[in-house]
Amino acid sequence: MLAPLFSSKLLLVLFFGTLFGLILGVLPGLGPTTGGALILPFTMTLDPLSAIVLLTSIYCAGTYGGAITAVLINTPGTPAAAATCLDGYPLAQKGEAGRALGMATVSSTVGGIFSVVILVFFAPILAQLAYEFGQPEYFALAIFGLTMLASIGEGSPIKNLIAGAFGILISTVGKDFMTSIDRFTFGINELTEGIGFIPVVVGLFAMSEMLTQSTLINQVFNRIALKAIKLPSKDDYKKTWKTILRSSGIGSFIGVLPAEGGTVASLIGYSEAKRFSKNPEEFGKGSIEGIAGAEAANNAATGGAMVPTLALGIPGSATTAVILTGLIIHGVRPGPDLFREQPDFLYGIFGAMLIANILFFIFGFFGAKIFARITLVPNKILWPMIFAVSVCGTYSLNQSIIDVWIMLFFGVLGFFMRRYGFSVVPVIIGLILGELVEGTLRQSLVIFDGNWLMFFTRPIALTFFILSLIALAFPLIRSRKFKKNND
């Protein structure tokens, strides 16, 4: 598995990817999704394996990096680290920041490695199953992926679905791929090629965050000093090993589900850790189990999310949507054929994720103190710099100034979406899945001679439709249960 990685170039890429990912994870507002989108143009200078190794190492390390900020300044570096704040910061306030970060580092590494094992075993099986899929099955699968947006954890389910539908709508801009008829181009030539993924991602994540930061310039963070990271004690291991394993399993499973990612995984991992704990009253006050539950789950979601991305071409999370774009840009078509034709390429990715998890453990353990200092870079210096990189990065893919304007438009739109409780993640997933949804729908209707009911005669498609209904009903059941528990 590691053999394809034994080249100095790939190891160097992996090293820098992990380092860069950690820095992105530590900086609140940035993260592996934005970072991946910003670095995507640079990957054009690399071969496909190096490019994807770079993106996946950013993904793994960035997910962990969020914990450092969550523990030290009570602000999650990435949304996936939100649950880590709940116990990480209170523990740090008690003067045990080193212990909290030590547990976060260990549980993240275990969760990450666990999920790579899941990836290695399950991705080929899923890919094998995908050989049975025709256009109607892919359509049903894409619909399942979209309905999963209802329960991604941020915002209300219907708002998420609106955002997802809007993402699909963006994918319809440009020439229709079957008939070459212009749609929503408004006479602008540059729009006939459609709206690119990078301007939308950079706009919705980086630029909208820049606008959000502009509303917070007077905010003062209470930063807790970190002396050194401490590895968990024997007592801590005894208390948490079951939680770490459980959360690793939960995180990997949630990650495999299309569109779900580390944020949902960490929230469920945390609440399950509380449910099974002998000391649930300690949660929210600095429970070491709470940190372990959240961190193992969010890092386990990284490997899990790569399963549908590589096996089916359906992103498991927002960051894997960026990785999927990276694969497509480099001419690699994810899906079952990839497993048959390029096993070395896949084993390179699996190995890279494994090494990235070990590397971020080393970097985190020895360098958390330095990474924590990155949060001291003032926003008034940091964000104008991010703007310069965002603009040049967006421009570079097609050398089009229209792309830069589109990015700014989506930045403003993303800001208002977030302000009024619409998550921006579904837009990205909708944009990625849009072409698949429409393409497979139209091709299926050609196969079925326009008879919509034929979808329900295909067992796999029918299964996905039933799962879609469950996915839509799940948030409703969850909110009723939550209400009942609160009453």
Partner 1 sequence: MKNVQKQKRANKSLPFFFRDEFKVSLVIILVSVALLITTFTFDIVPPILNRGIQPATFPKALLILIILMTLIIYYLATKNPWKVEKKLPRSFFLTLSSFVIFIVVSKTLDFFLAISALSIFVSYCWGEKRLFYLLIVGIIFPIIVFVFFETILGLRFPPGIITNIYYS
Kindly list the residues in this chain that would bind partner 1 in the complex (CB under 8 A): 41-42, 44-45, 156, 158-159, 161-162, 165-166, 168-169, 172, 176, 178-179, 181-184, 186, 210-211, 214-215, 217, 378-381, 383-385, 387-389, 391-393, 395-396, 399, 401, 404-405, 408, 411-412, 419-421, 438, 441-443, 445-446, 450
CB of 211 to partner 1, least distance (A): 6
Nearer residue to partner 1 within complex by CB, 30 or 113: 30
DSSP secondary structure, 271-292, as one string: HHHHHH-S-GGGTTS--HHHHH
Query: How many alpha carbons lie under 13 Å from residue 211 in its C-beta half-sphere?
Result: 19
From residue 257, alpha-carbon distances to 81, 151, 244, 267 in Å are 19, 11, 20, 15
DSSP string, 457-482: GSHHHHHHHHHHHHHHHHHHHHHHHH
The minimum distance between CB 117 and partner 1, in angstroms, equals 36
Comparison of 46 and 126: residue with beta carbon closer to partner 1 = 46
**C-alpha triplet 68, 74, 79: angle, nearest 5°:** 70
- Nearer CB in complex with partner 1: 129/473: 473
180: its two tokens: 């070459």
**Residue 152 Cβ, how far from partner 1 at the closest point, in Å?**
16
How far apart, in whole angstroms, are the C-alpha atoms of residue 5 and residue 293?
31
Say how far apart CA 242 and CA 107 lie, in whole Å: 11
d(C-alpha 340, C-alpha 127), whole Å? 9
Residue pair 196/406 in contact by the 8 Å Cβ criterion? yes
Task: Find the distance separating the first CA and the last CA of the chain, reported in whole Å.
Answer: 52
Inter-CA distances, 15 with 54, 61, 363, 482, Å = 9, 10, 10, 43
Q: Which is nearer to partner 1, 114 or 415 (CB)?
A: 415
Chain-centre distance for alpha carbon 158:
21
Using the minimum distance from each CB to partner 1, give the nearer residue, 45 or 485.
Answer: 45
- Given a contact cutoff of 8 angstroms between Cβ atoms, the answer to whether 274 and 101 are in contact is no
What totals of helices (H) and strands (E) does the chain contain, helices first?
Answer: 19, 2
Q: How far is the CB of 466 from partner 1 (least distance, A)?
A: 20
Nearer to partner 1, 304 or 426 (CB): 426
Amino acid symbol at 456: F
Say how far apart CA 346 and CA 342 lie, in whole Å.
7
Nearer to partner 1, 156 or 342 (CB): 156
Kindly state the smallest distance separating residue 174's Cβ from partner 1, in Å: 11
Nearest distance in Å: CB 108, partner 1 = 30
Residue 160 C-beta: closest distance to partner 1, Å: 10
> Which CA distances in Å does 348 have to 53, 112, 127, 361, 459?
8, 16, 17, 20, 35
What SS3 class is residue 6?
coil
Q: Is the dihedral of CA 318, 303, 28, 22 positive or negative?
A: negative
Question: Least separation, in Å, of the C-beta of 429 and partner 1?
Answer: 15
- Give strand pairing partners of 444: none
Of 331 and 378, nearer to partner 1 (C-beta) is 378
Between 189 and 399, CB nearer to partner 1:
399
Rounded distance, CA 326 to CA 74, Å?
33
C-beta of 101: minimal distance to partner 1 in Å?
A: 29
Q: Which is nearer to partner 1, 156 or 463 (CB)?
A: 156
Could you tell me the smallest distance in angstroms from the CB atom of residue 10 to partner 1? 19
Q: How far apart are CA 321 and CA 263, in angstroms?
A: 15
Q: By C-beta, is 129 or 408 nearer to partner 1? A: 408
Give the nearest distance from C-beta 395 to partner 1 in angstroms. Answer: 7
